[in-house]
Structure 1
Amino acid sequence: MPYIDPETVARAREMDLLTYLQARDPEELVRTGPASWRTRTHDSLKLSNGKWYWWSRGIGGRSAIDYLVAVKGMSFTDAVREIVGDFPAPVLRRTPPPCQPPQHESREFTLPPEAGTEAALEYLQRRGIDKEILDELHGAGVVYGSRRYSHQNVVFVGKDMTGAPRYASVRACAGDFKGEAPGSDKRFGFAMEQRGGPIEVHVFESAIDALSFATLFKLRGGDWRTLSLLSLGGIPPVRDGGNVKVPCALEQWLADHPLCSEVRLHLDNDGPGRAAARAIAERVSPRIPVGIEPPATGKDVNDHLLAVLDGRREGRFRDRSDRGCR
């Protein structure tokens, strides 16, 4: 393999994929939200917060090098030369630090304006979410509807310990659009909290999965208000060797709740979800007990909820179908 000095490799690694594609192949980028994109060639390859992830293949990374090697099939040496040969050194230092918004997207956080909340709540009810839970969360201002370019969305708000909104995830009521409000701080994900005393926190990839868990708990006769639920707003890619950063939202939640007694991970029951759960558990378990509890049926907790509801309607429901969602 031709020799490339370590300083050159380090410079090349600092090039994030978004910056690379904006300069070299801007037609390959399709914007899907205020700070998120996908590629035109691979519509399941998403870019957000300085990272990329190819969902259909279960691979991802941060740098353009990772993309050129894993997706384009280049050798590592060719990928480095491709980047360093085309970009001056100042441009190669634009990758944002973990858990911080990219500098070119940095702006004051603003909640999407409310519009069409009734339609948004009806959409969530069609996903099986309990109406009483939705009404209470809407009253608290953390679940509501918004419109953008005539598209109806549902908004899930994350607040800090003072109750100030700091984050909002946005989910289209029709289609696959998912994004975040400009200026969102991923440390403060959508959460439903039990107040006071030692607690366990149930962790999910999405707000809809968290709401699905609360609904399942209520179906079994439990009081969903006694639960502490946290949405990560997605999962980090697991690198070679199982390395992964603990998601910002979980790190912040544990810092804000020093009496937390256990973390229970209900991530998706697919390759990326299982890999992320194992990696996160390995990083967190030295500090606090961690349980891995994927949904018993379907890809995610919402799939499991819909299966339970279908079973109830058809007379097939049994308590054991709630395994993994207690």
Structure 2
Amino acid sequence: MSGYIYFTDEQKERANSVDLVDFLQRQGEKLLPSGRDKRLARDHSITVRGNSWYDHSSEEGSYAIDLVKRIYNLSFPEAVSLLLGGGRGVEYRQHSKSIEPEQRKPFILPPAHTDMRRVFAYLIKQRCISREVLSEFAREKLLFEDAEYHNAVFVGFDENGIACHAHKKSTATGSSFRINVEGSHPAYSFHYISKNPNHHSLFVFEAPIDLLSYISLHPQNWKNASYVALNGVSEQPVLKLLELYPQLQKVTLCLDNDEAGLKAASRIHKTLKEQGFEAVIYDVSAHKDWNDDLKAVYSQEQTTPTMVMK
């Protein structure tokens, strides 16, 4: 697109008010549920709601025009033109600012199933996670199976032992469904705090399954450390745990080995340094994430021939 294009203030306002879920889906983008927001499948750090967006990795956000410029590498006139239909007669839904804001629902854990057979079968057989590790988290009430859909539910408790956060992951074969229970407090995501008063290390992951995979790969004295899953890339859970447990003096960032994960790890490290916390190191998976590493080890063990003594 060349030459100067003039847009009226009304046109620019209309472009900036386009409902991003409607727009992105009609561009062929895949969106994932993320609480009350939608997460961009090709960049998990970006969430959208109405006509607004936020990049949790770079801690930036605004409205529709800036997002379209950002993800499609367009100029301002090109982005406005696309949001206005691009001359093709397409009209995208407008986000109405007159709608009353949603009332935040109280956090309620989903009802638990009478057993955990499907969750254990999924996490052990498909994800290769240690049965002993799963049993420990289940005993601590940090993991259970929901009664209605048999999802794995990963629970986060506050400092008073009250459940404030829950993340649901489907156990159905081939399903990518995962979502935080509505009303979850972002600072109290799924975590394990060592009962050893002399422990000092906090390991940080993007997802609960990565956390459990890492422990399965490093089972030696694992209870002498603490662990947290961010359920994304926000640093809030890390900052909250460091505030609540001053014995945590060393942070190991174990986020995904992809662009979004590496960017998020660098940002969290910067945030911790700004707050005077210097003891930060990185542990990066060989594959995309720690569960991929665990499955690779398991696959290698399954295919290694057993020596027969004669």
TM-score, length of structure 2 as denominator length = 0.73
Alignment of 1:47-86 (within 5 A): 47=47, 51-52=53-54, 62-64=61-63, 65-71=65-71, 74-76=74-76
Matched letter for residue 209 of structure 1:
D
Out of 287, 300, 305, the residue aligned to residue 289 of structure 2 is: 300
After superposition, the C-alpha distances for 1:229-264 in whole angstroms (9 at most, x for unaligned) are 11111115xxxxxxxxxx111111111112221110
SS of the aligned residue for 1:201 comes to: strand
Identity fraction in percent:
24
SS of the aligned residue for 2:294 comes to: helix
Q: Is the 8 A contact 1:199 1:259 kept in 2?
A: yes
Matched letter for residue 290 of structure 2:
V
Measured after TM superposition, the shift of residue 59 of structure 1 is: 8.8
Q: Residue 217 of structure 2 aligns with which residue?
A: 216
Q: Residue 244 of structure 2 aligns with which residue?
A: 256
Q: Residue 179 of structure 2 aligns with which residue?
A: 179
Out of 282, 288, 292, the residue aligned to residue 278 of structure 2 is: 288
Superposition RMSD on alpha carbons, in Å?
3.9
TM-score, length of structure 1 as denominator length = 0.70
Aligned residues: 275
After superposition, the C-alpha distances for 1:5-32 in whole angstroms (9 at most, x for unaligned) are xxx9xxx8xx8x9x8336x759759673
Gaps in structure 2 of 5+ consecutive residues: 85-91, 306-310
Q: Residue 229 of structure 2 aligns with which residue?
A: 231
Q: Residue 137 of structure 1 aligns with which residue?
A: 137
Structure of larger gyration radius: 2
Q: Residue 91 of structure 1 aligns with which residue?
A: 97
Q: Residue 313 of structure 1 aligns with which residue?
A: 302
- In the alignment, the residues of structure 2 paired with residue 137 and residue 312 of structure 1 have an alpha-carbon distance, to the nearest angstrom, of 25
Q: Residue 33 of structure 2 aligns with which residue?
A: 32
- In the alignment, the residues of structure 1 paired with residue 139 and residue 152 of structure 2 have an alpha-carbon distance, to the nearest angstrom, of 14
- In the alignment, the residues of structure 1 paired with residue 60 and residue 99 of structure 2 have an alpha-carbon distance, to the nearest angstrom, of 16
Gaps in structure 1 of 5+ consecutive residues: 95-102, 237-246, 317-326
Q: Residue 308 of structure 2 aligns with which residue?
A: none
- In the alignment, the residues of structure 1 paired with residue 48 and residue 68 of structure 2 have an alpha-carbon distance, to the nearest angstrom, of 17
Measured after TM superposition, the shift of residue 177 of structure 1 is: 1.0
